[in-house]
Structure 1
Amino acid sequence: MTRESFEFEAEPAQIRLVRSWVRAQLAAGDVPEQVTADAVLITGELATNAVRHAAGPLRARLICADAAIWIGVEDAGGSAWFDPVVPGTAPAGTGLTLVAAASGRRGHFHRDDGGKTVWAEIPLVS
């Protein structure tokens, strides 16, 4: 099992860095390209939501195990989390819909320090 984390600022330009970090972490292992692409997409969407709606500093966490990859984005604020059902024609707000489509499970939890973590898990075995 591998556990890694990456701190980033709540600025839009940082999202590209977070996605690159995930791609580099997974390239070091034997992760199928489609799973890597899904992990990069999920991390980008979670990081984008954190930059837009939460307080910094922010941290991306990546846990690679035999059966799944777990991705979480932590923020320092306790802003509400929601799991929208967005119509396919919506111009924005579809990020968590993409996360739902690309992951096996997803959710959130509020931490004791007042922040929250929004997470998704991608299975490695079917």
Structure 2
Amino acid sequence: MLLDKFAFDREPAQVRRVRSWVRDRLAATEEVPDEVAADVVLIAGELAANAVRHATGPVRALLTCADSTVWIGIEDSGGAAWFDPAAPDVAPVGTGLALIAACSRRRGHFHRADGGKTVWAEIPIGS
């Protein structure tokens, strides 16, 4: 089981650091096949890029690998609301959440009691 977190600044250059952190953490587990890790890294980059663009306050990546599933989340202090990638007509720009939907089993968001939100995706390790 892997459970880790990584705080990063809301600057575009930080997205690469988030992807690198996820890649390194998953490589250390030996539980996650390369093709699954590649999907998780892609998703992490998209979530981090959205947080850099839309979030407020500090941001943090969360990574859990347990029970044949990788869970990646980005939490922030608030900012723009999350929207459903199944309704692309309401998407303000880009296709990042549609990519996340295509590469994950489940995804979503939740608002925390502190006023922040966490946007997340769940990727199966096996078939």
Tell me if both proteins adopt one fold, taking TM over 0.5 as the criterion: yes
Could you say what the CA RMSD is over the residues aligned between the two structures, in angstroms?
Answer: 1.5
**1:75 corresponds to which residue?**
76
Q: Is the 8 A contact 1:64 1:70 kept in 2?
A: yes
Measured after TM superposition, the shift of residue 78 of structure 1 is: 4.7
Provide structure 2 residue ranges, at least 5 long, that are not aligned to the other structure.
none
**1:6 corresponds to which residue?**
6
Provide structure 1 residue ranges, at least 5 long, that are not aligned to the other structure.
none
- Give deviations 1:40-92, integer Å, cap 9, x for gaps: 000000000011011121000000003100000001115311023448xxxx5
- For the residue of structure 2 that corresponds to 1:56, the secondary structure is coil
CA distance in structure 1 between the aligned counterparts of 2:41 and 2:72, rounded to whole angstroms: 10
- Note if 1:24 corresponds to 2:24: yes
**2:104 corresponds to which residue?**
103
Q: Is the 8 A contact 1:78 1:110 kept in 2?
A: no
CA distance in structure 1 between the aligned counterparts of 2:57 and 2:72, rounded to whole angstroms: 18
- Between stretches 78-87 and 35-44, larger displacement belongs to 78-87
- Between stretches 66-75 and 76-85, larger displacement belongs to 76-85
- For the residue of structure 1 that corresponds to 2:83, the secondary structure is coil
CA distance in structure 1 between the aligned counterparts of 2:79 and 2:94, rounded to whole angstroms: 19
- For the residue of structure 2 that corresponds to 1:23, the secondary structure is helix
Q: Which amino acid aligns with 1:94?
A: T
CA distance in structure 1 between the aligned counterparts of 2:51 and 2:122, rounded to whole angstroms: 18
Measured after TM superposition, the shift of residue 125 of structure 1 is: 2.1
- For the residue of structure 2 that corresponds to 1:106, the secondary structure is strand
With normalisation by structure 1, the TM-score equals 0.92
- For the residue of structure 2 that corresponds to 1:37, the secondary structure is helix
Measured after TM superposition, the shift of residue 117 of structure 1 is: 0.2
CA distance in structure 2 between the aligned counterparts of 1:57 and 1:101, rounded to whole angstroms: 28
How many pairs are equivalent? 123
Q: Is the 8 A contact 1:9 1:57 kept in 2?
A: yes
